[in-house]
Amino acid sequence: MANSFKSLLWSNIVAAFAGSSTEALGAAIVNDLFFLHERGSKMGLYMNAIAGGNTVGPLVCGFIATNLSWRWHKWIAAILTALNFLTILLLVPETRYTREYIKGAGVAICPSNDKIVMADEKHLRPKSSNRILHQEVKNTWRQELSLWSGVSETSLVKLFLRPWPMVVYPAVIYAFLCYSISLVITIAVNILNPFVLQAPPYNWSPQINGLINIPGLLGNLIGAWAGGDLVDMWCRWRTRKMLGIYEPETRLYLVGIPLVITTAGCLVFGYGVQNALSWVSLFFGYGMISIALTAMPTITIAYVSDCAFPVNSDVLLLVNGLKNIVAFGFLFGVIPWAEEAGFVRAFGTLAGVFAGIVGIGAVLLVIWGASIRHTSAQWRVILE
């Protein structure tokens, strides 16, 4: 039980190490289980689950802390985490399945049903050298629960070091920066809104303050749909129009949706706070900002996965790790920055940085992305 702020801080640091380890895993599972033309929509569902920590959590925490205590918030989180751990341990053994792989080449589309097929994705290699596939002995459910079932032969040191060199790939840099700035803007609202809404002229109680996350939740849902299902529909249409030729950069065209809406949302929220406007303006501003929190990572992570499918697990681990470092560093400076610069200037700056990273990066990759991918494919930076 935490008896000081320092012990509470360290408990959160320890929990963050465990919690962050799941972020890249979920995205990698999406890439393993679903086809190219489904990847965006399923990635959107996953990003909604991740983003729920920034919206659903604060939405209910105010009621829990006010009616029970802040300690009960931690107990409830512990109970839910334990249930989640048991569910994964007992019911998801396929995540530890070891495959043998072969690599094909190229991208094709089946004209009969318009389903996009990635011929360079990993496929199961038959273990027999002839054309007859032998039935393998399946492990029992108890054998699958063994601590050594599916354990990689690669050393932990190499697993830790392997993703880092891939930070030189432009697609990875773009995904990391887009995810980081989208998360940073959302964190800024989450941290600053209690200082605004619980002070004059609003004077909201902590539990009512949590209701600002309702538009945040709605924004996440819209963003996940725009970055997932809508992008998938756009990619299918473009692929048919290009006679079956699919390019990963096709996904980047629709970053224009969060680019416009979130940039405007930053200005709406900043001016709303600075001029003490109605809480409605703050709600609309936060909802518009929240669209980027799911739309941008859904689009860019799917794009990175298309560009580097054979090593997508390592790439996604790197992207998620780097954006968490950026978010952690931003936490320490956002409050004094907003107090000194003012909300209009602070959120105007965030809007400009967001628009610059998302817009300029997308234009460069749409124009030169294919050439960059062909060139970077020759780089020897991936640790085998």
Domain boundaries, the chain: 16-98+156-376, 101-134
Lowest mean pLDDT among 111-115, 193-197, 312-316, 343-347: 111-115
pLDDT at 83 over 70: yes
Give 13-40 pLDDT, tens digit per residue. 777 666 666 776 777 778 777 888 888 8
User: Contact, 50 vs 34, CB < 8 A?
Assistant: no
Provide the CATH number for the domain formed by 16-98+156-376 in this structure.
1.20.1250
- d(CA 308, CA 377) in angstroms, rounded, equals 9
Q: Look over the chain and give the mean of its residue pLDDT values, rounded to a whole number.
A: 82
- Answer with the residue of higher pLDDT: 119 or 294: 294
Residues 6+ apart with CB under 8 A from 335: 191, 192, 195
pLDDT in the model for residue 333: 86
pLDDT at 124 over 70: no
Most confident of 79-83, 104-108, 251-255: 251-255
DSSP string, 236-258: HHHHHHTTT---GGGGGGGGHHH
pLDDT in the model for residue 127: 44
pLDDT at 358 over 50: yes
Helix (H, G, I), strand (E, B) or coil at 117: strand
- d(CA 182, CA 263) in angstroms, rounded, equals 10
pLDDT more than 90, % of the chain:
39
- d(CA 215, CA 92) in angstroms, rounded, equals 33
- d(CA 53, CA 72) in angstroms, rounded, equals 17
pLDDT at 384 over 90: no
pTM of the model: 0.81
Binned at pLDDT 50, 70 and 90, residue 208 comes out as confident
- d(CA 108, CA 125) in angstroms, rounded, equals 20
Nearest CA to 227 out of 364, 46, 367 is that of 46
Residues 6+ apart with CB under 8 A from 206: 62, 65, 66, 194, 198
- Answer with the residue of higher pLDDT: 101 or 84: 84
Neighbours of 57 (CB within 10 A): 14
pLDDT in the model for residue 136: 59
- Answer with the residue of higher pLDDT: 107 or 316: 316
Q: With 0-12 CB in 10 A as exposed, 13-18 as middle and 19+ as buried, what is 362?
A: buried
